[in-house]
Amino acid sequence: MEAPFFVKVVLNQEQIRAGVERLAGQVRAWYEERPITVVGVMTGSLVLLADLIRLLDMPLKVGLVQAASYEGTNRRPLSINPDMMPDVVGHDVLLVDDIFDTGHTLVEVVALIRSLGPKSLRSAVLLRKEGRQQVEHHPDFVAFDIDNQFVVGYGLDYCDAYRNLPYVAALEPDELHEPAE
């Protein structure tokens, strides 16, 4: 898929594939052959989650947690819905998210999962934005560090658009408006 004329490609398909392979290698090295429960943060992590679990050869279960802090372009308080999560009590859990920006979502989802009694909990993200963190906690595994720019594609969205792009691209500030349906 070619990039639309209005986006600047930040990570192409080959770079993403190599980054996800590195991420999988880090996860395999950490957990070795122990079974894990992989929990993806909806909806942005779905593409990464699918690609990552196909590269992991240890026994695993997969579940989802929904975390949302935007409605369209409007920021709202973070809401977390764990209804699609498997039982994590006594399990080694890997939380997978698309991007680590301010860090508030990761911190709150980690706190929720910790309250459920996992044996261990680690986190993995595709992207970590440099200079945006407002929390002390950081992901355990990171595929890419990127500059502070608004990115879409490979699961990341803007107003629920662009998730299907097979690369990560930056939108310029003048492109940040409600996309046409």
User: 3-state class of 133 per DSSP?
Assistant: coil
Q: Is 101 a catalytic residue?
A: yes
Q: What is the pLDDT of residues 36-74, one digit of tens each?
A: 999 999 999 999 999 999 999 999 999 999 987 765 555
Which domains are delineated in the chain?
A: 13-66+78-146 (3.40.50.2020)
Catalytic residue among 83, 101, 140, 147: 101
- CA distances from residue 46 to 52, 117, 123, 155, 180 in whole angstroms, order as listed: 10, 24, 15, 6, 23
What is the spatial distance between Cα 76 and Cα 51, in angstroms, rounded to a whole number?
Answer: 30
Q: What is the pLDDT of residues 64-87, one digit of tens each?
A: 999 877 655 556 677 787 788 999
Residue 153 backbone zone (phi > 0: left; psi -120 to 50: alpha; other: beta): left
Beta bridge partners of 153: 156
Q: What is the pLDDT of residues 105-118, one digit of tens each?
A: 999 999 999 999 99
